[in-house]
Chains A and B, each alone.
Chain A
Amino acid sequence: MKRFALFLLLVLILLPLGCANTTSHSQAVYMLMDTSGTYTAELNKAQAIINYLLGTLQPGDSLAVARIDTGSFSEKDIIQKITFEGRPSGANEQKRAFRQAMDTFVANVKGSSYTDITGGVLQAVEYLNETGAGRKTILIFSDMEEELKEGYVRDFPIQISGITVVALNVTKLRKDIMDPRKYMGRLEEWKKRVEAGGGKWRVVNDLERLDRILEG
């Protein structure tokens, strides 16, 4: 009741100002999936995350899923991208088709030799900025260990202002178990890089609490 009254009051006050408000209220999510080496075994978890995203995103929001492989700065690595239409029934149909496409991809995925996370992030930034969404999020489903093929240059600052980067399911490698400082150093390095580029950094390892992914 209170919410309705507040809503009514706000509508009456802000309706004349509403036309001038150009803020976008849509949300865009770009998910990067690491397909290198043994990490492909974790892809069923990524599927659960995508399902969660499909259930959470609203009509008008955008979702793209891309793979991280040897050279991720490429449109070819985008597995599926979509902007859900305004009608809820149409959006639901699109979500079903999206899920189908992701199931097919996960069933037939082949591991890559290298892990170009920076390239994937750059591709994500490009896509997210094009959507013009109000809230932009990059989800990186990876162990965050970048391995670049010879000749690939990625040691430069990246511009990700206004974008939240969430590292998901950052698994500990054998060397991390031996020396945890490497794991923490790797995450710290990424945090510095993201924040230097104007973005926000967050790590979510507990996949039981998927609601934390898109908060803030």
Chain B
Amino acid sequence: MKQFLLFQDHPVLSLLLWATLAIVLLYMARKQAHQAIRSFSRVLSTGFRLAARSVLGAEQRLRHRNREVLLAAGMIEVEKEIEREFLRVEAVVKQDLQTYPAFHRSMSDLLVKIDEDYSQSTEVPPSPPTWIAAVDAVAQIPESKDGGVATILGEIHKTLDRQHKAAMAEYRKSSGTRHTLLKRMMPTWRKLSQTLEKVGKTITGLQERAQVIDSRMNDYEAMRTMSATAERKLSSSSLTQFVIAGLVMLIAIGGAVINFNLIALPMSEMVGGGSYIGPFKTANVAALVIILVEVSMGLFLMESLRITHLFPIIGSMDDRMRRKMIWISFSILLTLACVESALAFMRDQIAADNEALKQSLAGVQAVTSSADNWIPTLGQMVMGLVLPFALTFVAIPLESFIHASRTVIGITVMWLLRLFALALRLLGNTSYYCGRVIISLYDLLIFPLLWAEEKMSRPRPAAATVQASKEVPQ
């Protein structure tokens, strides 16, 4: 340090001299230094801006890709729904409308029958008796005291009475027949009414299906034209699916934990409690493997039943092979469930034995088992049997989770890229303004010389005034 002291006894003076020298040097190099600082800050700023632009480009490409993936997935989904609706329509047409000719014939037959019955049931007016003219003629005979005429009229009256009764009986009989016919028409009418109602329902159902198909077709059209509304709708649906599927997966993991605890202890009876694979007990690893195999079998079962579509190779198998696959995976699952149930039973036995040993070692009188001790044992066995099948259904939320996570991860990465681009732009601007600040600070350091330069370069106002006053009289 001492070698920098120009005057050994006056360090302050030396410092002042060094400072002056530095200021002079800085003043002399001012132009070049400014250029260097400006260039450096510009290089940094441009670099950051370019990087930001590149990141934004990547973000846009990713957004475009995400959009494509989202819409493609949405379109596949809608296609499936439309296909399903068409299948339903086909089923309705096959079930109800395929038999329409027979149906129509049946209705025609019914109508003919009704018509015939109706025709038969019409009331026929009784024909007027032919002897009425004779009665009129007899009635024209003038009244006399002849007893013969009275007798004849009496006889006529009797005959008339008899005829009237016979005609009435005949009329009642035919009316009865007509009523019987009309009564017989009732069920036919009802049947006809029911048949028409059924046809009406079928037609209404078809109309509803057609409305659903229309609505889905509109959605499909919106997706095909890549509309922002469709994208937003699908994106929001994906996020909802992600959350719901994640929640169900958490529940399934909880079930797997319970399952693990149920079989880990008894597994030590099978594979030994003292052996290890790496830092883990073999029994624990074996229990975990059993659970994972169960989950895998569940996935295969769901896949073979075409409930999920995680493995296209299983989905594209022919039906015979697929049925075989269903039976194989179900058999393995059932076997494992039975094994788990047995292990759960064994767990109870081992736990009881351990407890008894601990009590005897502690010198405590062993507690006599109550009669209801079989309830927890049975409960554990049932859990051991049911949990593997319950875990099978984890395939459904897993598929949704995987599909939804594609969108969610895409959106997250997009946001991260956007943030990164923002940070880069910020850095670019900061480096640009930092360059300007450094230039200002540089000038601040050498301000005495700059001030002097400014003073020297500016013409003196006093001198200028004097010069002007001298020039006025001339």
Contacts and interface: CB of A to CB of B under 8 A. Distances in A.
A61 to B, nearest CB: 7
A51 B353 CA distance: 16
Q: Is the interface of A mostly helix, strand, loop or mixed?
A: helix
A95 B357 contact: yes
Contact of A88 (B276, B350, B360): B350
Interface residues of A, number: 35
Contacts of B274: 25-26, 58-61, 84-86
Interface string B329-344: 0000000000000000
Contacts of B288: 7-8, 11
Interface stretch (B136-144, B210-218, B254-262, B386-394): B254-262
A91 interface: yes
B279 interface: yes
A89 to B, nearest CB: 6
Contacts of A8: 288
Given A1-B257, A8-B288, A99-B361, A60 B273 contact: yes
B280 A10 contact: yes
A96 B362 contact: no
Contacts of B285: 11, 15
Interface string B225-265: 00000000000000000000000000001101100100001
A87 B272 contact: yes
A174 to B, nearest CB: 32
Contacts of A92: 353-354, 357
B275 interface: yes
Contacts of B253: 1, 4-5
Given A5-B253, A88-B350, A88-B353, A60 B278 contact: no
A54 B361 CA distance: 8
A17 interface: yes
Interface in B266-316: 268-269, 271-281, 284-285, 288
A86 B275 CA distance: 8
Given A55-B358, A55-B362, A84-B274, 7 more contacts: A11-B288, A21-B276, A54-B357, A59-B273, A59-B274, A60-B272, A95-B357
Interface of B: 253-254, 256-257, 260, 265, 268-269, 271-281, 284-285, 288, 349-350, 353-354, 357-358, 360-363
